Amino acid sequence: MTTVRDATLDVLRRYGMHRIFANPGSTEVAFLADLPDDLEFVLALHEGSVVGMATGHAIATGRPAFVNLHTTAGLGNAVGALATARVNRAPLVVVVGQQDRRHLALEPFLAGRLDGLAGPYPVWVNQPALAQDVPAAIRRAWHEARQHRGPAIVVVPMDDWSAPTDPALGLAAPTTVLRAGPEADAAAGEVVRLLDRAANPLVVVGAGADDRRTWDALVSLAERIGAPVWQEAFGARAGFPQDHPRFAGHLPAGRSRLRAVLAPHDVALVVGTGAFRQYPYEPGPLVPDGLTVAVVSDDPDELHHSRAELAVLADPAAFCLAVAEQVTPRRAPAPAPRAGTVEPPAAGEPMRAVHVFAALAERLPRDVVLVEETPSSRPDLHRLLPAREPRGFVSAAMGGLGFALPAAAGLRMGDPSRPVVAVLGDGSSLYGIQGLWSAARYGCGVLFVVLSNGRYAVLDRLADKAGGKAPWPAFEDVSVHGIAQALGCPARRVVDHPELLAVLDEVVPTLAHRTEPLLLDVPVRVDTRFEP
């Protein structure tokens, strides 16, 4: 069995932290006892001296030094020295002991209220949520200390060290992080070598790639290497033109289906997001064996929580263009087209969400900004309404409801040159319904399409999947178009497919110059299938 301690000692070896500067206490004994011979313990008689020695060592070597401190007393004694290390720009990885996780709620003797104790001087502070996350946190602390040139703190409860960890799961932190500048130039060469050696590479894009320069660079790269391009799961923005032949679809949100998509590939280049966003949790490895992952982003946090061998902090557009110019061209078949035809509902048959999406797809202009908040039918929306221009798709990055309706009004106000359509579930719309008053008051000519099923369909399906009975009632008596009208926003109830087509034919041509919002309340049948 590999323990958290075993995995952590391997991290120390991997990153050259062979000396442990410490003044030990009882919360650190489980980590320090029986240290392997290749790691050296360096004792100082006060925590100020511990951190001072480590600071000098880091300055001399130019690499992060490893410090082990004893819970509240040890960290408290070291604060002045940590402040000095920060101002001296000395990178330190500081592991602080904590009482046993299993009774922390009782605030036992030696339990420390450690968050914030060192004030603003650490460059990063973390107590991992689970024991198995400790090695990844210490790996990230090394990168944070190196990048920001100061002390990075990880708090570790004493029982975490003996907890088991599964090497197959990997660490939720990249092995190597290179920064923009000369390192990023070298990293471009490394990514080129990865792609040139790959038998079957793929590209994954995220919200951080949603701009014209990055789209153009990624199109050039994907066409040059013949790779399929996948959009991250739950992406808030589109990172690639989704009507391009190389676009393969949206990554699934569960680990088993994600592994199935990634299995044929040996290299994944992830651009503008982390690797990989998931929901809900599934046991098992995140990625298949044999897959090398490289991540490129201008957001350090995306890099640091990625399961990747290489992470590059760089402007995605410039970096991908440099890679595209250097990589060896190859030929590969394009992915098969994904979107099929949608048959209209039979006479008297209720509409489903796909009927609404298909009708919109036939009519919306290429430059439309589509704002989405329809969780129960999001996969169909992605399939039928691809983003064709940068900023062509906008959604809530955090997943909380209430974003899309007011955001659509703001998008139209911020750029009146582009038509804006918001597609919402009725449950979602009620979290931001007050935004209709502002949309009407300030002349935001948004088309709001509300798919009304009178319930929280996603939650109903999740409850069914869990084998339980949902305690919440339906709300079919709520009139979204009635609320809209009460808030001063024009609204229509559209009850059948021919009426929907007629209304869209009337309204869509006006979207480019429209200064009055319109809400369409469209009843749809609940779809029983659910695959996030």
Number of Cα atoms under 13 Å in the Cβ half of residue 105: 1
The dihedral built from the CA positions of residue 391, 279, 527 and 522, taken in this order, carries a sign that is negative
Mark out the alpha helices in 385-520 (DSSP H runs).
Answer: 404-414, 426-429, 435-441, 457-465, 480-486, 497-507
CA–CA distance, 352 with 343 (Å, rounded to integer): 11
What superfamily would CATH give domain 176-326? Answer: TPP-binding domain (3.40.50.1220)
pLDDT tops 90 at residue 280: no
The burial of 402, by beta-carbon neighbours within 10 Å (0-12 exposed, 13-18 middle, 19 or more buried), is given as middle
pLDDT tops 70 at residue 27: yes
Q: What is the mean pLDDT of the chain?
A: 92
pLDDT tops 60 at residue 343: yes
Task: State the pLDDT at residue 528.
Answer: 54
Q: 357-372 pLDDT, tens per residue? A: 999 999 999 999 999 9
Q: Which CATH architecture has domain 4-166?
A: 3-Layer(aba) Sandwich (3.40)
Per cent of the chain over pLDDT 70 is 96
Segment 373-396 mean pLDDT: 94
Confidence of residue 398 (pLDDT cuts 50, 70, 90): confident
At 261, give phi and psi (nearest 5°).
Answer: -70, -40
Domain covering 353-523, topology: Rossmann fold (3.40.50)
CA–CA distance, 218 with 320 (Å, rounded to integer): 6
Q: What tokens were used for 32?
A: 């320090």
**pTM over the 0.85 mark:** yes
CA–CA distance, 258 with 277 (Å, rounded to integer): 10
pLDDT tops 90 at residue 373: yes
Segment 385-390 mean pLDDT: 97
Q: Are 160 and 4 in contact (CB under 8 A)?
A: yes
Q: State CA 326 to chain mean position distance.
A: 29
CA–CA distance, 362 with 504 (Å, rounded to integer): 10
Contacts 24+ apart (CB under 8 A), 163-166: 163/3, 163/4, 163/131, 163/132, 164/1, 164/2, 164/3, 164/4, 164/132, 165/2, 165/3, 165/4, 165/6, 165/7, 165/131, 165/132, 165/135, 166/2, 166/132
Q: Taking CA 417 as the corner, what is the angle to CA 414 and CA 423, rounded to the nearest 5 degrees?
A: 75
Task: State the pLDDT at residue 338.
Answer: 66
Q: 493-526 pLDDT, tens per residue? A: 999 999 999 999 999 999 999 999 999 999 998 7
Task: State the pLDDT at residue 481.
Answer: 95
Query: 359: part of which helix (H) or strand (E)?
Result: helix 353-363
For the chain, the structural domain boundaries read 4-166, 176-326, 353-523
Which residues partner with 277 through β-bridges? none
CA–CA distance, 393 with 485 (Å, rounded to integer): 27
CA–CA distance, 49 with 17 (Å, rounded to integer): 18
The burial of 135, by beta-carbon neighbours within 10 Å (0-12 exposed, 13-18 middle, 19 or more buried), is given as buried
Confidence of residue 121 (pLDDT cuts 50, 70, 90): very high
Segment 338-345 mean pLDDT: 78
| Number of Cβ within a 10 Å radius of residue 29 | 12
- Fold agreement (176-326, 353-523): yes
| Range with lowest mean pLDDT among 117-121, 160-164, 328-332, 471-475 | 471-475
Which candidate, 170, 182, 139, places its Cα nearest to that of 8? 139
Give the CA distances from residue 497 to residues 424, 501, 508, 527, in Å, rounded to whole numbers and listed in that order.
18, 6, 16, 17
Q: 221-257 pLDDT, tens per residue? A: 999 999 999 999 999 999 999 999 999 999 998 899 9
CA–CA distance, 203 with 519 (Å, rounded to integer): 38
pLDDT tops 90 at residue 477: no
Task: State the pLDDT at residue 508.
Answer: 97
Q: 63-119 pLDDT, tens per residue? A: 999 999 999 999 999 999 999 999 999 999 999 999 999 998 888 898 889 989 999
CA–CA distance, 500 with 506 (Å, rounded to integer): 10
Task: State the pLDDT at residue 470.
Answer: 76
Q: Are 290 and 259 in contact (CB under 8 A)?
A: no
CA–CA distance, 288 with 269 (Å, rounded to integer): 15
Q: How many residues does the chain have?
A: 532
DSSP per residue, 210-252: -SHHHHHHHHHHHHHHT--EEEPTT-SB-SS-TTSTTEEEEPP
The DSSP letter of residue 296 is E
Per cent of the chain over pLDDT 90 is 78
Of 114-118, 129-133, 415-419, give the range with the top mean pLDDT: 415-419
Contacts 24+ apart (CB under 8 A), 348-351: 350/523, 350/524, 350/525, 351/496, 351/497, 351/500, 351/522, 351/523, 351/524, 351/525
Amino acid at 151: P
At 216, give phi and psi (nearest 5°).
Answer: -65, -40
pLDDT tops 90 at residue 453: no
Which candidate, 496, 494, 490, places its Cα nearest to that of 521? 494
Task: State the pLDDT at residue 180.
Answer: 66
Confidence of residue 168 (pLDDT cuts 50, 70, 90): low
Longest dimension (CA), the chain: 85
| Range with lowest mean pLDDT among 7-21, 45-59, 159-173, 270-284 | 159-173
Task: State the pLDDT at residue 529.
Answer: 57
pLDDT tops 60 at residue 447: yes
Which candidate, 315, 311, 287, 313, places its Cα nearest to that of 139? 311
For strands 447-452 and 420-425, give the pairing: parallel
